[in-house]
Amino acid sequence: MSKKPENLDFSSEAGNFSYAEDYAFDAGVGLSEQTVRYISKVKGEDEWLTQFRLDALKIFNEKENPTHWATERLNELDFSKIRYYLAKDKKNRRSWDEVPEDVKKTFERLGVPEQERKFLAGVDAQFDSESAYSSMKAHLEEQGVIFVGPDEGLKKYPEIFKKYFCSVIPVDDSKYSALNSAAFSGGSFIYVPKGVKVKQPLQAYFRINAESFGQFERTLIIADEGAELMYMEGCTAPRFETSTLHSGVVELVALKGAKIQYVTVQNWSNNIFNLVTQRGRAEEGAEISWIDCNVGSGLTMKYPTVVLNGKGARGEVVSIALANHLQHQDTGAKMIHLADDTTSNIISKSISIADGRASYRGMVYIPENVKGCKNNTVCDALLINSNSRTDTYPAIVCSGENNFVQHEASVSKLGDEQIFYMRQRGLSEQEAMSLAVNGFVNDLVRRFPMEYSVELKRLIELEMEGSVG
Protein backbone atom coordinates (compact mmCIF):
# COMPACT_ATOMS: atom_id res chain seq x y z
CA MET A 1 0.00 0.00 0.00
CA SER A 2 1.31 3.45 -0.88
CA LYS A 3 2.32 6.13 1.58
CA LYS A 4 -0.46 8.44 2.81
CA PRO A 5 -0.50 11.74 0.88
CA GLU A 6 0.56 14.60 3.10
CA ASN A 7 -1.94 17.02 1.55
CA LEU A 8 -5.07 14.93 2.07
CA ASP A 9 -7.38 17.06 4.24
CA PHE A 10 -10.96 16.22 5.22
CA SER A 11 -11.30 18.92 7.87
CA SER A 12 -14.68 20.55 8.27
CA GLU A 13 -13.30 23.78 6.82
CA ALA A 14 -11.21 22.26 4.02
CA GLY A 15 -13.96 22.76 1.43
CA ASN A 16 -15.42 25.97 2.81
CA PHE A 17 -14.18 28.34 0.14
CA SER A 18 -15.32 29.38 -3.32
CA TYR A 19 -14.05 31.49 -6.18
CA ALA A 20 -16.15 33.69 -8.46
CA GLU A 21 -16.79 31.91 -11.75
CA ASP A 22 -17.77 33.01 -15.23
CA TYR A 23 -20.06 30.24 -16.50
CA ALA A 24 -20.46 29.81 -20.24
CA PHE A 25 -23.53 27.59 -19.81
CA ASP A 26 -26.31 28.35 -17.34
CA ALA A 27 -29.77 26.75 -17.49
CA GLY A 28 -31.21 29.33 -15.11
CA VAL A 29 -33.30 28.78 -11.98
CA GLY A 30 -36.01 26.12 -11.68
CA LEU A 31 -36.68 22.84 -13.47
CA SER A 32 -38.93 22.82 -16.53
CA GLU A 33 -39.10 21.32 -20.00
CA GLN A 34 -37.06 24.28 -21.21
CA THR A 35 -34.36 23.53 -18.62
CA VAL A 36 -34.16 19.88 -19.66
CA ARG A 37 -33.99 20.73 -23.36
CA TYR A 38 -31.24 23.26 -22.64
CA ILE A 39 -29.11 20.65 -20.83
CA SER A 40 -29.63 18.13 -23.61
CA LYS A 41 -28.80 20.67 -26.33
CA VAL A 42 -25.60 21.83 -24.62
CA LYS A 43 -24.51 18.20 -24.42
CA GLY A 44 -25.40 17.49 -28.06
CA GLU A 45 -27.53 14.48 -27.14
CA ASP A 46 -29.56 12.30 -29.49
CA GLU A 47 -33.33 12.74 -29.57
CA TRP A 48 -33.97 9.50 -27.62
CA LEU A 49 -31.98 10.80 -24.66
CA THR A 50 -33.74 14.16 -24.76
CA GLN A 51 -37.06 12.30 -24.66
CA PHE A 52 -35.72 10.10 -21.84
CA ARG A 53 -35.03 13.23 -19.81
CA LEU A 54 -38.46 14.72 -20.57
CA ASP A 55 -40.21 11.49 -19.56
CA ALA A 56 -38.23 11.49 -16.31
CA LEU A 57 -39.23 15.10 -15.67
CA LYS A 58 -42.88 14.14 -15.99
CA ILE A 59 -42.40 11.33 -13.44
CA PHE A 60 -40.60 13.71 -11.09
CA ASN A 61 -43.45 16.22 -11.24
CA GLU A 62 -46.08 13.54 -10.67
CA LYS A 63 -44.41 11.87 -7.69
CA GLU A 64 -44.80 13.25 -4.19
CA ASN A 65 -41.99 13.35 -1.66
CA PRO A 66 -41.68 9.92 -0.01
CA THR A 67 -43.36 9.64 3.37
CA HIS A 68 -42.95 6.02 4.51
CA TRP A 69 -39.17 5.99 4.08
CA ALA A 70 -38.18 9.59 4.67
CA THR A 71 -37.95 12.54 7.02
CA GLU A 72 -40.14 15.63 7.30
CA ARG A 73 -37.15 17.85 6.50
CA LEU A 74 -37.57 17.01 2.81
CA ASN A 75 -40.39 19.55 2.74
CA GLU A 76 -37.88 22.36 3.40
CA LEU A 77 -36.41 21.95 -0.08
CA ASP A 78 -37.72 24.37 -2.73
CA PHE A 79 -36.98 22.94 -6.19
CA SER A 80 -37.99 26.21 -7.87
CA LYS A 81 -34.99 28.04 -6.37
CA ILE A 82 -32.31 25.60 -7.54
CA ARG A 83 -30.02 26.04 -10.56
CA TYR A 84 -29.83 22.73 -12.42
CA TYR A 85 -26.92 23.18 -14.84
CA LEU A 86 -23.79 25.31 -14.68
CA ALA A 87 -20.61 24.73 -16.68
CA LYS A 88 -17.58 26.78 -17.65
CA ASP A 89 -17.11 24.89 -20.91
CA LYS A 90 -17.41 21.45 -22.49
CA LYS A 91 -13.72 20.57 -22.98
CA ASN A 92 -12.51 17.11 -22.00
CA ARG A 93 -9.10 17.57 -20.34
CA ARG A 94 -6.53 14.84 -19.71
CA SER A 95 -3.80 17.06 -18.24
CA TRP A 96 -3.87 19.31 -15.16
CA ASP A 97 -1.99 21.92 -17.20
CA GLU A 98 -5.04 22.28 -19.48
CA VAL A 99 -7.50 22.93 -16.63
CA PRO A 100 -8.53 26.62 -16.34
CA GLU A 101 -6.51 28.38 -13.65
CA ASP A 102 -9.50 29.35 -11.50
CA VAL A 103 -10.81 25.76 -11.45
CA LYS A 104 -7.34 24.28 -11.03
CA LYS A 105 -6.59 26.32 -7.91
CA THR A 106 -9.79 24.94 -6.31
CA PHE A 107 -8.71 21.33 -6.81
CA GLU A 108 -5.08 22.07 -5.92
CA ARG A 109 -6.27 23.59 -2.65
CA LEU A 110 -8.23 20.37 -2.01
CA GLY A 111 -5.14 18.26 -2.77
CA VAL A 112 -6.62 16.30 -5.70
CA PRO A 113 -3.56 16.41 -8.04
CA GLU A 114 -1.35 15.28 -5.18
CA GLN A 115 -3.65 12.32 -4.44
CA GLU A 116 -3.50 11.26 -8.08
CA ARG A 117 0.30 11.31 -8.17
CA LYS A 118 0.59 9.41 -4.87
CA PHE A 119 -1.81 6.49 -4.96
CA LEU A 120 -4.60 6.60 -7.56
CA ALA A 121 -4.93 4.59 -10.76
CA GLY A 122 -7.26 7.20 -12.21
CA VAL A 123 -9.15 10.31 -11.20
CA ASP A 124 -12.08 12.38 -12.38
CA ALA A 125 -12.67 15.83 -10.89
CA GLN A 126 -16.13 17.30 -11.39
CA PHE A 127 -16.74 21.03 -10.91
CA ASP A 128 -20.46 21.86 -10.61
CA SER A 129 -22.18 20.17 -13.60
CA GLU A 130 -19.25 18.93 -15.68
CA SER A 131 -15.92 17.17 -15.35
CA ALA A 132 -12.96 19.56 -15.26
CA TYR A 133 -10.33 16.86 -15.57
CA SER A 134 -10.09 13.09 -16.00
CA SER A 135 -7.19 10.69 -16.41
CA MET A 136 -6.26 7.03 -16.02
CA LYS A 137 -2.98 5.12 -15.96
CA ALA A 138 -1.86 3.94 -19.41
CA HIS A 139 -1.50 0.27 -18.42
CA LEU A 140 -5.19 0.11 -17.46
CA GLU A 141 -6.23 1.50 -20.83
CA GLU A 142 -4.11 -1.20 -22.46
CA GLN A 143 -6.03 -3.82 -20.45
CA GLY A 144 -9.32 -2.46 -21.77
CA VAL A 145 -10.44 -0.64 -18.62
CA ILE A 146 -12.83 2.24 -19.36
CA PHE A 147 -13.01 5.23 -16.99
CA VAL A 148 -14.80 8.21 -18.52
CA GLY A 149 -17.83 10.43 -17.91
CA PRO A 150 -21.34 9.31 -18.91
CA ASP A 151 -21.41 11.60 -21.97
CA GLU A 152 -18.23 10.09 -23.39
CA GLY A 153 -19.26 6.61 -22.32
CA LEU A 154 -22.54 6.82 -24.21
CA LYS A 155 -20.91 8.18 -27.37
CA LYS A 156 -17.85 5.91 -27.47
CA TYR A 157 -19.20 2.72 -25.88
CA PRO A 158 -22.97 2.72 -26.55
CA GLU A 159 -23.27 -1.09 -26.68
CA ILE A 160 -22.07 -1.37 -23.05
CA PHE A 161 -23.57 1.83 -21.68
CA LYS A 162 -27.10 1.32 -23.01
CA LYS A 163 -27.19 -2.30 -21.86
CA TYR A 164 -26.70 -1.39 -18.19
CA PHE A 165 -28.00 2.20 -17.97
CA CYS A 166 -31.06 2.23 -15.66
CA SER A 167 -30.86 -1.57 -15.37
CA VAL A 168 -30.37 -1.45 -11.58
CA ILE A 169 -32.26 1.75 -10.69
CA PRO A 170 -35.29 2.44 -12.91
CA VAL A 171 -36.27 6.04 -13.58
CA ASP A 172 -39.48 5.74 -11.57
CA ASP A 173 -37.78 4.16 -8.55
CA SER A 174 -38.41 7.37 -6.56
CA LYS A 175 -38.96 11.08 -7.00
CA TYR A 176 -35.20 11.62 -6.71
CA SER A 177 -34.14 8.95 -9.19
CA ALA A 178 -36.52 10.64 -11.63
CA LEU A 179 -35.03 14.05 -10.81
CA ASN A 180 -31.53 12.77 -11.50
CA SER A 181 -32.65 11.13 -14.75
CA ALA A 182 -34.08 14.45 -15.95
CA ALA A 183 -31.11 16.62 -15.05
CA PHE A 184 -28.10 14.28 -14.78
CA SER A 185 -24.71 15.62 -15.76
CA GLY A 186 -21.23 14.38 -14.94
CA GLY A 187 -20.30 11.34 -12.91
CA SER A 188 -18.41 8.21 -13.95
CA PHE A 189 -18.78 5.37 -16.42
CA ILE A 190 -16.46 2.47 -15.62
CA TYR A 191 -16.10 -0.92 -17.28
CA VAL A 192 -13.51 -3.47 -16.14
CA PRO A 193 -13.10 -6.40 -18.58
CA LYS A 194 -13.18 -10.08 -17.65
CA GLY A 195 -10.50 -11.14 -15.20
CA VAL A 196 -8.87 -7.70 -14.89
CA LYS A 197 -8.04 -6.71 -11.32
CA VAL A 198 -7.46 -2.97 -10.82
CA LYS A 199 -5.01 -2.90 -7.91
CA GLN A 200 -5.05 0.85 -7.23
CA PRO A 201 -8.24 2.84 -6.57
CA LEU A 202 -10.11 4.86 -9.15
CA GLN A 203 -11.48 8.08 -7.68
CA ALA A 204 -14.02 10.74 -8.52
CA TYR A 205 -14.12 14.07 -6.72
CA PHE A 206 -17.36 16.05 -6.73
CA ARG A 207 -17.12 19.76 -6.02
CA ILE A 208 -20.08 22.13 -5.73
CA ASN A 209 -18.84 25.70 -6.08
CA ALA A 210 -22.00 27.69 -6.84
CA GLU A 211 -24.74 28.91 -4.54
CA SER A 212 -28.34 27.60 -4.84
CA PHE A 213 -27.09 24.85 -7.12
CA GLY A 214 -28.03 21.23 -7.75
CA GLN A 215 -25.47 18.59 -8.66
CA PHE A 216 -26.84 15.46 -10.35
CA GLU A 217 -23.98 13.19 -11.29
CA ARG A 218 -24.68 9.70 -12.66
CA THR A 219 -22.29 6.82 -11.95
CA LEU A 220 -22.43 3.45 -13.72
CA ILE A 221 -19.83 0.79 -12.89
CA ILE A 222 -19.66 -2.66 -14.51
CA ALA A 223 -17.20 -5.30 -13.35
CA ASP A 224 -17.22 -8.16 -15.86
CA GLU A 225 -16.73 -11.79 -14.84
CA GLY A 226 -13.89 -12.19 -12.35
CA ALA A 227 -12.95 -8.51 -12.47
CA GLU A 228 -12.12 -6.46 -9.38
CA LEU A 229 -11.91 -2.75 -8.57
CA MET A 230 -12.14 -0.18 -5.81
CA TYR A 231 -13.84 3.13 -6.56
CA MET A 232 -13.65 6.08 -4.18
CA GLU A 233 -15.57 9.33 -4.21
CA GLY A 234 -15.06 12.48 -2.21
CA CYS A 235 -17.48 15.40 -1.91
CA THR A 236 -17.15 19.00 -0.69
CA ALA A 237 -18.92 22.35 -1.07
CA PRO A 238 -18.58 25.82 0.46
CA ARG A 239 -21.05 26.95 3.09
CA PHE A 240 -23.83 29.23 1.83
CA GLU A 241 -26.95 30.63 3.48
CA THR A 242 -29.21 29.21 0.79
CA SER A 243 -30.01 25.53 0.26
CA THR A 244 -27.94 23.45 -2.14
CA LEU A 245 -29.02 20.08 -3.54
CA HIS A 246 -26.97 16.98 -4.31
CA SER A 247 -28.97 14.13 -5.83
CA GLY A 248 -26.75 11.52 -7.46
CA VAL A 249 -27.56 8.06 -8.78
CA VAL A 250 -25.06 5.18 -8.55
CA GLU A 251 -25.58 1.84 -10.32
CA LEU A 252 -23.15 -1.05 -9.79
CA VAL A 253 -23.15 -4.31 -11.74
CA ALA A 254 -20.90 -7.13 -10.57
CA LEU A 255 -21.05 -10.07 -12.98
CA LYS A 256 -20.13 -13.67 -12.11
CA GLY A 257 -17.28 -13.80 -9.58
CA ALA A 258 -16.57 -10.05 -9.76
CA LYS A 259 -15.81 -7.75 -6.82
CA ILE A 260 -16.65 -4.06 -6.44
CA GLN A 261 -15.71 -1.90 -3.46
CA TYR A 262 -17.36 1.53 -3.42
CA VAL A 263 -15.88 3.95 -0.86
CA THR A 264 -17.46 7.32 -0.05
CA VAL A 265 -16.11 10.10 2.15
CA GLN A 266 -18.78 12.80 2.28
CA ASN A 267 -17.95 16.12 3.91
CA TRP A 268 -20.61 18.46 2.57
CA SER A 269 -21.33 21.85 4.14
CA ASN A 270 -24.43 21.98 6.35
CA ASN A 271 -26.61 23.82 3.81
CA ILE A 272 -26.59 20.74 1.54
CA PHE A 273 -29.55 18.41 1.00
CA ASN A 274 -27.79 15.15 0.13
CA LEU A 275 -30.42 12.84 -1.41
CA VAL A 276 -28.82 9.98 -3.31
CA THR A 277 -29.85 6.61 -4.69
CA GLN A 278 -27.18 3.89 -4.65
CA ARG A 279 -27.78 0.28 -5.67
CA GLY A 280 -25.72 -2.64 -6.88
CA ARG A 281 -26.60 -5.98 -8.46
CA ALA A 282 -24.39 -8.96 -7.65
CA GLU A 283 -24.58 -12.02 -9.89
CA GLU A 284 -23.41 -15.57 -9.09
CA GLY A 285 -20.46 -15.60 -6.70
CA ALA A 286 -20.00 -11.83 -7.01
CA GLU A 287 -19.37 -9.40 -4.15
CA ILE A 288 -20.36 -5.76 -3.69
CA SER A 289 -19.17 -3.77 -0.70
CA TRP A 290 -20.19 -0.22 0.19
CA ILE A 291 -17.86 1.55 2.65
CA ASP A 292 -19.46 4.83 3.60
CA CYS A 293 -18.58 7.83 5.78
CA ASN A 294 -21.17 10.59 6.14
CA VAL A 295 -20.05 13.81 7.82
CA GLY A 296 -21.62 17.17 7.10
CA SER A 297 -24.75 18.21 5.14
CA GLY A 298 -27.94 19.51 6.73
CA LEU A 299 -29.83 16.38 5.67
CA THR A 300 -28.43 13.17 4.23
CA MET A 301 -30.71 10.37 3.02
CA LYS A 302 -28.60 7.50 1.75
CA TYR A 303 -29.27 3.74 1.84
CA PRO A 304 -26.74 1.77 -0.25
CA THR A 305 -28.39 -1.38 -1.54
CA VAL A 306 -27.22 -4.74 -2.84
CA VAL A 307 -29.53 -6.95 -4.88
CA LEU A 308 -28.11 -10.45 -4.46
CA ASN A 309 -29.21 -11.81 -7.80
CA GLY A 310 -27.00 -14.89 -8.23
CA LYS A 311 -26.29 -17.96 -6.15
CA GLY A 312 -23.55 -17.40 -3.56
CA ALA A 313 -23.47 -13.62 -4.06
CA ARG A 314 -22.30 -11.47 -1.14
CA GLY A 315 -23.18 -7.94 -0.12
CA GLU A 316 -21.87 -5.65 2.59
CA VAL A 317 -22.48 -2.11 3.83
CA VAL A 318 -20.10 -0.60 6.38
CA SER A 319 -21.10 2.92 7.38
CA ILE A 320 -20.15 5.71 9.76
CA ALA A 321 -22.45 8.71 10.27
CA LEU A 322 -21.67 11.76 12.37
CA ALA A 323 -24.50 14.25 13.00
CA ASN A 324 -23.51 17.59 14.51
CA HIS A 325 -25.48 20.78 15.23
CA LEU A 326 -28.62 21.12 13.05
CA GLN A 327 -27.69 18.01 11.06
CA HIS A 328 -29.71 14.87 10.36
CA GLN A 329 -27.88 11.83 9.03
CA ASP A 330 -30.63 9.48 7.85
CA THR A 331 -28.56 6.57 6.58
CA GLY A 332 -28.70 2.82 6.42
CA ALA A 333 -28.72 -0.09 3.98
CA LYS A 334 -30.90 -2.50 2.02
CA MET A 335 -30.13 -6.13 1.24
CA ILE A 336 -32.39 -7.96 -1.21
CA HIS A 337 -31.75 -11.73 -1.38
CA LEU A 338 -33.08 -13.14 -4.64
CA ALA A 339 -30.93 -16.29 -4.96
CA ASP A 340 -29.93 -19.27 -2.82
CA ASP A 341 -26.93 -19.25 -0.48
CA THR A 342 -26.51 -15.48 -0.57
CA THR A 343 -24.92 -13.62 2.33
CA SER A 344 -25.20 -10.03 3.50
CA ASN A 345 -23.61 -8.01 6.28
CA ILE A 346 -24.57 -4.54 7.56
CA ILE A 347 -22.46 -2.71 10.12
CA SER A 348 -23.57 0.82 11.04
CA LYS A 349 -22.13 3.19 13.63
CA SER A 350 -23.39 6.69 14.30
CA ILE A 351 -22.39 9.57 16.57
CA SER A 352 -24.78 12.37 17.52
CA ILE A 353 -23.28 15.62 18.81
CA ALA A 354 -25.08 18.69 20.25
CA ASP A 355 -28.64 18.57 18.82
CA GLY A 356 -27.60 16.38 15.89
CA ARG A 357 -29.78 13.43 14.89
CA ALA A 358 -28.57 10.15 13.41
CA SER A 359 -31.05 7.58 12.08
CA TYR A 360 -30.46 4.05 10.86
CA ARG A 361 -33.04 2.95 8.30
CA GLY A 362 -32.59 -0.54 6.91
CA MET A 363 -34.28 -3.32 4.99
CA VAL A 364 -33.45 -7.01 4.73
CA TYR A 365 -35.65 -9.01 2.35
CA ILE A 366 -35.47 -12.79 1.96
CA PRO A 367 -38.49 -14.21 0.05
CA GLU A 368 -39.90 -17.70 0.46
CA ASN A 369 -38.55 -19.03 -2.84
CA VAL A 370 -34.87 -18.93 -1.77
CA LYS A 371 -32.93 -20.98 0.78
CA GLY A 372 -29.62 -20.97 2.62
CA CYS A 373 -29.46 -17.16 2.91
CA LYS A 374 -27.81 -15.32 5.79
CA ASN A 375 -27.86 -11.74 7.03
CA ASN A 376 -26.14 -10.09 9.95
CA THR A 377 -26.98 -6.50 10.93
CA VAL A 378 -25.31 -4.52 13.72
CA CYS A 379 -26.31 -0.91 14.53
CA ASP A 380 -24.45 0.96 17.25
CA ALA A 381 -25.14 4.57 18.23
CA LEU A 382 -23.25 6.93 20.52
CA LEU A 383 -24.86 10.05 22.04
CA ILE A 384 -22.52 12.84 23.10
CA ASN A 385 -24.92 15.40 24.59
CA SER A 386 -28.19 15.23 26.50
CA ASN A 387 -30.14 16.69 23.56
CA SER A 388 -28.57 14.40 20.92
CA ARG A 389 -30.91 11.98 19.17
CA THR A 390 -30.68 8.60 17.51
CA ASP A 391 -33.33 6.33 15.90
CA THR A 392 -33.33 2.85 14.41
CA TYR A 393 -35.93 1.76 11.84
CA PRO A 394 -35.22 -1.83 10.73
CA ALA A 395 -37.52 -3.63 8.29
CA ILE A 396 -36.91 -7.37 8.06
CA VAL A 397 -38.74 -9.97 5.97
CA CYS A 398 -37.38 -13.50 6.27
CA SER A 399 -39.27 -16.38 4.65
CA GLY A 400 -38.32 -19.64 2.96
CA GLU A 401 -36.27 -22.55 4.27
CA ASN A 402 -33.00 -22.56 6.20
CA ASN A 403 -32.61 -18.78 6.06
CA PHE A 404 -31.04 -16.87 8.92
CA VAL A 405 -31.33 -13.20 9.97
CA GLN A 406 -29.68 -11.57 12.95
CA HIS A 407 -30.23 -7.96 14.04
CA GLU A 408 -28.38 -6.32 16.90
CA ALA A 409 -28.63 -2.69 18.02
CA SER A 410 -27.18 -0.67 20.89
CA VAL A 411 -27.31 2.93 22.08
CA SER A 412 -24.83 4.34 24.56
CA LYS A 413 -24.07 7.76 25.99
CA LEU A 414 -20.59 9.04 26.64
CA GLY A 415 -20.47 8.98 30.44
CA ASP A 416 -18.88 11.33 32.93
CA GLU A 417 -17.01 8.39 34.45
CA GLN A 418 -15.23 7.61 31.18
CA ILE A 419 -14.18 11.23 30.73
CA PHE A 420 -13.06 11.48 34.35
CA TYR A 421 -10.95 8.31 34.04
CA MET A 422 -9.12 9.60 30.95
CA ARG A 423 -8.61 13.07 32.43
CA GLN A 424 -6.83 11.50 35.37
CA ARG A 425 -4.22 10.34 32.87
CA GLY A 426 -3.41 13.81 31.63
CA LEU A 427 -5.91 14.32 28.81
CA SER A 428 -8.02 17.43 28.49
CA GLU A 429 -11.79 16.98 28.41
CA GLN A 430 -11.78 17.67 24.65
CA GLU A 431 -9.02 15.12 24.03
CA ALA A 432 -10.80 12.55 26.18
CA MET A 433 -14.05 12.90 24.23
CA SER A 434 -12.26 12.67 20.87
CA LEU A 435 -10.39 9.58 22.03
CA ALA A 436 -13.63 7.92 23.14
CA VAL A 437 -15.40 8.66 19.85
CA ASN A 438 -12.47 7.49 17.71
CA GLY A 439 -12.34 4.32 19.78
CA PHE A 440 -16.05 3.78 19.10
CA VAL A 441 -15.56 3.83 15.30
CA ASN A 442 -11.98 2.57 15.08
CA ASP A 443 -12.84 -0.93 13.86
CA LEU A 444 -14.80 0.55 10.94
CA VAL A 445 -12.28 3.30 10.13
CA ARG A 446 -9.72 0.57 9.52
CA ARG A 447 -11.90 -0.73 6.70
CA PHE A 448 -11.22 2.44 4.71
CA PRO A 449 -8.11 2.62 2.52
CA MET A 450 -5.02 3.62 4.48
CA GLU A 451 -4.86 6.89 2.56
CA TYR A 452 -8.17 7.89 4.18
CA SER A 453 -8.28 6.22 7.58
CA VAL A 454 -5.87 8.54 9.40
CA GLU A 455 -7.57 11.63 7.99
CA LEU A 456 -11.01 10.30 8.97
CA LYS A 457 -9.88 10.13 12.58
CA ARG A 458 -8.64 13.70 12.33
CA LEU A 459 -11.93 14.82 10.79
CA ILE A 460 -13.84 13.28 13.69
CA GLU A 461 -11.57 15.10 16.15
CA LEU A 462 -12.30 18.40 14.38
CA GLU A 463 -16.03 17.72 14.42
CA MET A 464 -15.78 17.13 18.17
CA GLU A 465 -14.44 20.63 18.77
CA GLY A 466 -16.97 22.64 20.75
CA SER A 467 -18.95 19.57 21.79
CA VAL A 468 -17.84 19.82 25.43
CA GLY A 469 -20.70 21.04 27.61
409 assigned to some structural domain? yes
**Is 50 exceeded by the pLDDT of residue 118?**
yes
Contact 271, 242 (CB under 8 A): yes
Predicted confidence band of residue 5 (pLDDT cuts 50, 70, 90)? very low
**Is 50 exceeded by the pLDDT of residue 229?**
yes
d(CA 77, CA 60): 14
pLDDT for residue 8: 37
**Sign of the dihedral defined by the CA atoms of residues 25, 31, 35, 37, in that order:** positive
**Is 60 exceeded by the pLDDT of residue 442?**
yes
Q: What is the β-pairing status of strands 202-207 and 328-337?
A: unpaired
Q: How many structural domains are present in the chain?
A: 1
**Is 90 exceeded by the pLDDT of residue 164?**
yes
pLDDT for residue 447: 83
20 assigned to some structural domain? no
10 assigned to some structural domain? no
Q: Which residues, listed in sequence order, are joined to residue 289 by a DSSP beta bridge?
A: 261, 316
Q: Which residues contact 285 (CB under 8 A, 6 or more apart)?
A: 256, 257, 310, 311, 312, 313
**Each residue of 300-337: pLDDT tens digit?**
999 999 999 999 999 999 999 999 888 999 999 999 99
167 assigned to some structural domain? yes
Q: What share of the chain is helix, strand, coil (3-state, %, to 5)?
A: 25, 35, 35
128 assigned to some structural domain? yes
Mean pLDDT on 238-244: 68
- Comparing 8-12, 76-80, 152-156, 448-452, the range with the smallest average pLDDT is 8-12
More confidently predicted of 200 and 84: 84
pLDDT for residue 122: 67
Helices vs strands, H then E, count in the chain: 11, 25
15 assigned to some structural domain? no
d(CA 129, CA 184): 8
Q: What is the pTM of this model?
A: 0.88
229 assigned to some structural domain? yes
**Sign of the dihedral defined by the CA atoms of residues 58, 59, 63, 65, in that order:** negative
CA–CA distances in Å: residue 237 to residues 127, 179, 216, 280 = 10, 21, 14, 27
For every residue of 240-293, DSSP letters joined together read: -SS-EEE--EEEEEE-TT-EEEEEEEEEE-TTEEEE-EEEEEE-TT-EEEEEEE
Mean pLDDT on 16-21: 46
18 assigned to some structural domain? no
Q: Which residues contact 84 (CB under 8 A, 6 or more apart)?
A: 27, 30, 31, 35, 39, 183, 214, 216
Contact 357, 326 (CB under 8 A): no
More confidently predicted of 468 and 67: 67
Mean pLDDT on 133-147: 83
Highest mean pLDDT among 12-16, 306-310, 349-353: 306-310
Least Cα distance to 332 among 344, 343, 321 occurs for 321
Q: Which domain holds residue 191?
A: 25-464
Least Cα distance to 290 among 311, 263, 265, 329 occurs for 263
